[in-house]
Amino acid sequence: MSEQTPGCLRVGQNAPDFTATAVVDQEFKTIKLSDYRGKYVVLFFYPLDFTFVCPTEITAFSDSYASFSDINTEVLGVSVDSEFSHLAWIQSDRKSGGVGDLEYPLVSDIKKEISTAYNVLDPEVGVALRGLFIIDKEGVIQHATINNLSFGRSVEETLRVLQAIQYVQTHPDEVCPAGWQPGSATMNPDPVKSKEFFAAV
């Protein structure tokens, strides 16, 4: 896996590998991104535990986890908090601002090395922006978005993009138009053959 220079990370490059402590089923475990090779990975960063927008995203991904798992995808949440903070947040009830038990690991980036490698660290605030990366089975970044701190992301849109990535990777002679959903029409990226799609719509 090639090394990346912070600030130069982009789609089509290898995702920077990392080893970190995560909370999995209320236990501390050491995980490596490369351990998930052969699976797709949705890697998302969020600013801090015990905040406001963050728990809405964390729980939404957990509630939809089966939809990702069913298509060979792992979800990993990352913030600059310690694993102890992650555990305390997980052990807090959702009604009181906690996230409760989660279906996927929460990764500690307390040294800020992962968020730096993925170029999502806001150095002035000292936390990660809401970066989200879809990494394919070969460890290559296929999709990246970064939101500012005050607004959350759509789990449904993440799933849709993931499904489109998986479709075109298994159908190399097709591309997915805007708003594509599984089962809807694709097109052939050819000046002549693409007219079939445009004529139909």
Q: What is the CATH number of the domain that holds 139?
A: 3.40.30.10
Question: Model pTM?
Answer: 0.92
CA angle 109, 60, 18 (to 5 degrees): 25
Name residue, tokens 């999502």: 120
Are the C-beta atoms of residues 1 and 13 closer than 8 Å to each other? no
Task: Please tell me the predicted confidence (pLDDT) of residue 97.
Answer: 84
Residue 185 within a domain: no
State how far the Cα of 79 lies from the Cα of 183, in Å rounded to an integer: 35
Task: Please tell me the predicted confidence (pLDDT) of residue 2.
Answer: 39
Residue 108 within a domain: yes
Active site residues: 54
State how far the Cα of 94 lies from the Cα of 89, in Å rounded to an integer: 9
Task: Please tell me the predicted confidence (pLDDT) of residue 3.
Answer: 44
Q: Is the pLDDT confidence value at 144 over 50?
A: yes
Q: Is the pLDDT confidence value at 4 over 70?
A: no
What is the domain count for the chain? 1
Residue 39 within a domain: yes
Are the C-beta atoms of residues 61 and 69 closer than 8 Å to each other? no
Residue 126 within a domain: yes
Name the residue range of residue 95's domain: 19-152
Residue 174 within a domain: no
Residue 163 within a domain: no
**Closest among 97, 91, 126, 88 to 109, alpha carbons compared:** 126
Q: What is the mean pLDDT of residues 101-109?
A: 97
Q: What is the mean pLDDT of residues 175-185?
A: 95
Task: Please tell me the predicted confidence (pLDDT) of residue 168.
Answer: 96
Q: What is the mean pLDDT of residues 33-43?
A: 98
Residue 72 within a domain: yes
Reduced to 3 DSSP states, what percent helix, strand and coil does the chain have, rounded to the nearest 5? Answer: 30, 25, 45
Percent of the chain with pLDDT over 70: 97
Q: What is the mean pLDDT of residues 88-113?
A: 94
Residue 161 within a domain: no
